[in-house]
């Protein structure tokens, strides 16, 4: 019992001593406004005694300068690292700054229609929602603030509209958006996140940054609104703005995975909810949960654009799992190729899928029909891979001269830098089939000559991401292309950020500089990871083409030096209609016109002979 009591008493003493020291009355006079001087933590042997406290009303004594020897580190001892300075506290901001920032923002959106002015009035009246319960004095003050903000926004919009009508207006978007962004950032830094207007401040800061061309910075704030979900009135607007940003290069992880793929879909409006269902279905498809993906896609409205895109994603996923595509699957792709709710690019991808599936089934005529259904903008040169696939299809149909004409198209300046090793192989095959052995041998050697540096880099096991041709080919399609475009967008916007340094102020400029620096580093990491894998795939394509070309050179060499037997006669060439009755031909003089790229035909005679016994 005695040891336990002693332990209890000692612990109580330990607890009471600090309390007693804190509870002791201060020796400083109560009337003194200056705080009492801090007492030293412990006395150091040999150190001078502390000076007595000054009497009230007397100025404090000047402390003696410290000895430099005491501050210097001992010999052989490293100096202590300097403590990092804490971030400066947020500046005090007038509560009216939020209202003035909104007025500045709307003044930057000059619209000369009464409808737009009314729309701005409604938006501002919905934004400012800080009024407390009716009947209190603070409610009257808040109501007056609301009225002033609405009046300012409407007055600014009316003034801008009058200036536009009179022709005296200056470009108003950028300067007002920059000032609004600076004011909103300062207001957000000094406002607690529990404020009713905090999410609105983030939203209009994001809109201001997007108006200035800083789309990624705006997306960061919109994504923050979507993740925090503090204001149900702001959330649908933020999601709609994020959805609009997906039409350009964007951060797929931040928007698709961390926002739309993680949303609770019960409270969303119809349009934003449809896009969220589509994105969550795509995520499930990527990880192999097709049943869950179908549940999300089933909630999409039949006939909507999201439903059509979901159908395309389902067909592509199903295509990866079947060995032999059925006619039903091909017809489903064919239906999507004419769906006007899809973008032109998506419709073209569906038509290309039909053509490739028919080619695999050796329905070459049907594949050619599907290739002709790919619609390109007027005077658009088209895609090099599309022309090459059509050339292979015509070669399989025996239309050698038409296929050779399409290969002439691929020599145009628009496609000169394209990575198309199969082009040289196909040209060598056509010349071989027409018994033009020397041109066939030259065409085969052209591949190894043109891609000699890349082939050497592969043989030496160099870093293939540094090979210009392979890198360009890898960044031309797929996820690597998207990563490259997003990285380029960040670099462009980082340069654009410097233009607004004077308008943003030091705090916002420093914050956005850090945002873009971190995003650029992450985008570079993602791009390099995707690039390394894509470059390996392009290197495999080049190696396969080079191997086939070497085999072609061997076959052509045998044919070239083969002795022709006596009694041989010329083979009658296969009938191939170069021109229709309503067509006319002009001699090619080395000029390429975009509207003529698919019309080239090569007139070449067959030199093949038939051996007789």
Given a cut of 60, is residue 500 above it in pLDDT?
yes
pLDDT tens for 64-121 read 444 444 444 455 555 555 566 666 665 666 778 889 989 888 886 654 333 333 334 3
Q: Which two tokens stand for residue 401?
A: 């001269």
Mean pLDDT check: name the lowest of 262-266, 394-398, 473-477, 487-491: 262-266
Given a cut of 80, is residue 129 above it in pLDDT?
no
**Residue spans per domain, the chain:** 396-570+595-613
231 vs 273: which has the higher pLDDT: 231
Encode 134-167: b = buried (16+ Cβ within 10 Å), e = exposed. Answer: eeeeeeeebeebbeebbebbbebbeebbeeeeee
Q: Are 258 and 227 in contact (CB under 8 A)?
A: yes
Handedness of CA 199, 201, 202, 203 (dihedral sign): positive
Mean pLDDT check: name the lowest of 291-300, 493-502, 593-602: 593-602
Q: How far apart are CA 111 and CA 100, in angstroms?
A: 19
Given a cut of 50, is residue 417 above it in pLDDT?
yes
pLDDT of residue 135: 40
pLDDT of residue 77: 54
pLDDT tens for 330-367 read 999 999 999 988 888 889 999 999 999 999 999 999 99
pLDDT tens for 453-487 read 999 999 999 999 999 999 999 999 999 999 999 99
pTM: 0.71
Res. 493 pLDDT band, cuts 50 70 90: very high
Residue of 89, 209, 250 whose CA lies nearest to 509: 209
Residue 80, classed as helix, strand or coil, is coil
- Give the pLDDT mean for 157-163: 44
Task: For residue 138, give the H/E element and its range.
Answer: helix 137-166
pLDDT of residue 303: 81
Handedness of CA 532, 536, 538, 539 (dihedral sign): positive
């Amino acid at each position: 019992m005695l040891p336990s009591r002693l332990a209890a008493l000692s612990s109580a003493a330990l607890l009471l001593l600090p309390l007693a020291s804190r509870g002791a009355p201060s020796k400083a006079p109560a009337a003194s406004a200056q705080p009492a001087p801090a007492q030293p933590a412990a006395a150091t042997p040999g150190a001078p005694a502390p000076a007595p406290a000054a009497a009230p009303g007397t100025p404090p004594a000047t402390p003696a300068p410290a000895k430099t020897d005491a501050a210097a580190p001992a010999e052989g001892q490293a100096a202590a690292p300097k403590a990092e300075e804490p971030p400066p506290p947020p500046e005090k901001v007038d509560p009216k700054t939020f209202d003035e920032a909104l007025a500045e923002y709307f003044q930057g959106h000059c619209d000369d229609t009464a409808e737009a002015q009314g729309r701005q009035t409604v938006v501002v009246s919905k934004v400012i929602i800080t009024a407390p319960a009716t009947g209190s004095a603070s409610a009257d003050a808040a109501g007056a603030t609301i009225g002033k903000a609405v009046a300012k926004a409407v007055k600014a919009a009316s003034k801008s509209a009058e200036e536009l009508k009179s022709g005296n207006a200056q470009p108003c978007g950028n300067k007002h958006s920059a000032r609004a962004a600076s004011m909103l950032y300062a207001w957000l830094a000094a406002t607690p996140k529990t404020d009713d207007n905090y999410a609105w401040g983030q939203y209009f800061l994001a809109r201001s940054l997007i108006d200035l061309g800083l789309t990624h910075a705006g997306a960061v704030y919109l994504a923050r609104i979507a993740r925090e979900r503090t204001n149900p009135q702001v959330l649908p607007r933020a999601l709609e703005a994020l959805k609009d940003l997906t039409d350009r290069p964007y951060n797929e992880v931040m928007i698709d995975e961390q926002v739309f793929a993680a949303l609770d879909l019960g409270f969303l409006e119809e349009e934003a909810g449809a896009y969220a269902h589509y994105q969550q279905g795509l995520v499930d498809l990527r990880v192999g949960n097709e049943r869950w993906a179908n549940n999300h896609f089933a909630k999409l409205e039949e006939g909507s654009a999201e439903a059509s895109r979901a159908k395309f994603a389902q067909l592509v996923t199903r295509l990866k799992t079947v060995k032999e595509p059925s006619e039903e699957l091909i017809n489903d792709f064919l239906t999507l190729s004419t769906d006007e709710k899809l973008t032109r690019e998506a419709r073209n991808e569906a038509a290309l899928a039909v053509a490739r599936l028919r080619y695999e089934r050796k329905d070459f005529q049907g594949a050619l029909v599907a290739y002709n259904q790919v619609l390109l903008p007027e005077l658009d040169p088209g895609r090099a891979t599309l022309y090459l696939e059509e050339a292979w299809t015509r070669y399989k149909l025996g239309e050698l001269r038409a296929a050779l004409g399409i290969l002439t198209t691929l020599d145009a300046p628009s496609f000169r830098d394209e990575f198309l090793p199969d082009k040289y192989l196909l040209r060598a095959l056509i010349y071989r089939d027409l018994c033009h052995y020397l041109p066939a041998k030259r065409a085969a050697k052209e591949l190894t000559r043109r891609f000699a540096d890349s082939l050497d880099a592969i043989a030496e096991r160099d870093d293939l991401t540094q090979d210009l041709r392979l890198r360009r080919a890898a960044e031309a399609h797929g996820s690597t292309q998207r990563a490259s475009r997003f990285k380029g967008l960040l670099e462009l916007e980082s340069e654009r950020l410097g233009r607004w340094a004077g308008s943003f102020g030091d705090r916002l400029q420093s914050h956005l500089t850090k945002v873009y620096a971190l995003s650029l580093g992450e985008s570079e990491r993602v791009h390099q990871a995707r690039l390394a894998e894509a470059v390996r795939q392009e290197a495999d394509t080049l190696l396969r083409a080079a191997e086939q070309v070497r085999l072609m050179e061997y076959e052509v060499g045998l044919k070239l030096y083969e002795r022709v037997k006596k009694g041989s006669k010329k083979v009658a060439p296969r009938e191939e209609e170069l021109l229709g009755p309503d067509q006319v031909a002009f001699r090619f003089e080395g000029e390429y016109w975009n509207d003529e790229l698919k019309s080239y035909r090569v007139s070449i005679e067959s030199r093949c002979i038939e051996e007789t016994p």
